[in-house]
Structure 1
Amino acid sequence: MTETTREDTGALTGAQARARFRTGERTTTIGWADRYAQANLISVPRAAAYDLLLFAQRNPQACPLLDVSEPGGHTTVLAEGADLRTDLPSYYVWRNGELADEVRDATPYWREDLVTFLIGCSLTFERALMEAGVPVRHIEEGVTDPMFTTARRCRPAGRISGPLVVSMRPLPPHLVSTAVRITARYPNVHGAPVHVGDPAALGIADVRRPDFGDAVTVGGDVPAFWACGVTTQAAVVASKLDFAISHVPGYMFITDVPDSAYAL
């Protein structure tokens, strides 16, 4: 059997990628179906759904909403025929704000009162960055993008509160303005960076030790930080929600929506 290359997986459609995940393939979605938008997933009981909706509305850069399901629903307008219980490569199951399990198929854990939120993901704008000559280090190094829990607090909503989580991409100094300009055109997938430069300004002690994902080479580059949808998982922990299902960071839901559809 020949090894699947990044070029092979990058050429897939969203539907083709989801079919492979549905049959059990477990891999990060970095570089997969690279012309299609990816999304974060978080499912919470209906009793907490209004607060999470309000939390997302109050923190739109971290939690840009792409779709919200009906209670118990497992489909989305973002991908015809998709099943949100099976079509991601890996899921976390949370109980009382603590990680309880990691599974490839969330069906056995699904509840009729769950409301699922699909939130924009910064992986969506990475093709545009690369086409403009901006290197994306985690793709170059074949790892998941590094993510950090910051000292910044999100605006709370009801029972939901927590810190801002960011993803980091090192940028050559002469390309910082290019990266900011390009990503600002994608507000529904986090938009421009929330911070560029000294990580300490966000309360990040060491960019070589991410809280989620993998470390990447920084060297003489400038670290740039984008708001991240994993913020909702940090809120699940901080708020000690009794139950939730989420994607594993870097193991996203791939939609049928072209990434270009989210560009202004």
Structure 2
Amino acid sequence: MAISSAAQQGDDRYSDLPSAVARREYRAGKYGSTAGVAPGYVQGNLVILPEAQASAFHRFCQLNPKPCPIIGMSDVGNPSIPALGLDLDIRTDIPQYVVWKDGEAIDRPYEVAKYWRDDLVSFVIGCSYSFEEAMMADDLPIRHIEQDVLVPMYRTNIACKSAGPFAGPMVVSMRPLKPADAIRAVQITSRFPAVHGAPVHLGLPQSIGIKDINKPDYGDAVHINDDEIPVFWACGVTPQAVIAAARVPFAITHAPGVMLVTDLKNKHLAVL
């Protein structure tokens, strides 16, 4: 998953990559869902933790690869991850962040430079926005994009495997599909394990602890037609539910629905 040779060589063409343009816009203060932004480029969820908790969280991700597939990780104290983008700055390049203290969200800023510390480690986790491109290429509907809202996300009763202080429920994202389309979606997304892979559940939301499909815990509700079923994928917002459950002393994450746009290509994630 190497970045382009133009980027590696410092070529001016690198600054024109759609992903680099998107990051500059967010750095300048643009806000909005990143769904459908920079088509062809991988997006990621973000978790930033002190080095003291980083090893346990890394182990948590290894034990829970469906909701937490790591696609990038920073050196301690370094706000850049060159493998994901030469100009990338973790502190500024996401539309909105959430700052956590003792498991409580205390701020939702548009940049986190003032919170940055020399002991912080950043994890970038694969996002389902990447496999949506493959679904749309096969003419499958993506309702939250059609309605121009954030994808609906729900806490479930599916317990993640614990590692150190990190334990809690899996969060899932939902896309309504006709049954035949759901089968096709399973086939398509199974090829993308680095961005959550195949669904973890189809239909019957109550059986995974979702009481009201019209009231997501994160994101926005979307319309479900009578001939459709809800299809649920493991979601990279899971660490936020775990951070809250574990009452982690300090953490920074992306705000649900707005991601880090990287220079990795979606096509390079597919397993043939």
Provide TM-score, normalisation by structure 2: 0.92
Q: Distance in 2 between matches of 1:205 and 1:160?
A: 25
Structure 2 Cα separation of the partners of residues 113 and 161 of structure 1: 23
Deviation at 1:258, TM superposition (A): 1.2
Between stretches 209-218 and 24-33, larger displacement belongs to 24-33
Residues 1:68 and 2:107 are matched in the alignment: no
Counting matched residue pairs gives 254
Counterpart residue number, 1:18? 23
Separation in structure 2 between the aligned mates of residue 111 and residue 154 of structure 1, nearest angstrom = 29
Stretches of structure 2 that go unaligned for 5 or more consecutive residues are: 1-15
The aligned residue for residue 260 of structure 1 is: 267
| Rounded Cα–Cα distance in structure 2 between residues aligned with 1:216 and 1:261 | 30
* 1:236 and 2:204 matched: no
1:107-151 deviations in Å (ceiling 9; x for gaps): 000111111100000000111101101100000000010000001
* 2:12 paired residue number: none
In structure 2, the residue matched to 1:167 is 173
**Which string of whole-angstrom CA distances, capped at 9 and with x for unpartnered residues, describes residues 86-109 of structure 1?**
011110000000000010111000
The equivalent of 1:31 in structure 2 is 36
Q: Indicate the residue corresponding to 1:104 in structure 2.
A: 110
Cα deviation for residue 30 of structure 1 reads 1.4
Match of 2:200 among 178, 194, 199: 194
1:141 to 136, 142, 147: 147
Secondary structure in 2 matching 1:103? coil
TM superposition shift of 1:219? 1.8
**Which of 67-76 and 246-255 deviates more?**
67-76
Measured in 2, the distance between the counterparts of 1:226 and 1:200 equals: 15
- In the aligned structure 2, how far is the partner of 1:173 from the partner of 1:236? 35
Counterpart AA for 2:127: C
- Residue 245 of structure 1 is matched in structure 2 by 252
**After the TM superposition, which segments of 4 or more aligned residues of structure 1 sit over 3 Å from their partners?**
none
Are positions 1:227 and 2:234 aligned together?
Answer: yes
Matched letter for residue 205 of structure 2 = P
Q: Which amino acid aligns with 1:202?
A: I
Alpha-carbon distance in structure 2 between the residues aligned to 1:80 and 1:99? 30
User: Cα RMSD (Å) of the superposition?
Assistant: 1.1
Q: Distance in 1 between matches of 2:179 and 2:50?
A: 44
Q: Sequence identity, in percent?
A: 46
Partners of 1:222 and 1:90 lie apart in 2 by 31
Counterpart CA distance in 2 for 1:28 and 1:132 is 23
Question: Do the aligned residues in 2 keep the contact of 1:163 with 1:234 (CA within 8 Å)?
Answer: yes
Secondary structure at the counterpart of residue 221 of structure 2: coil
Q: Which amino acid aligns with 1:14?
A: S
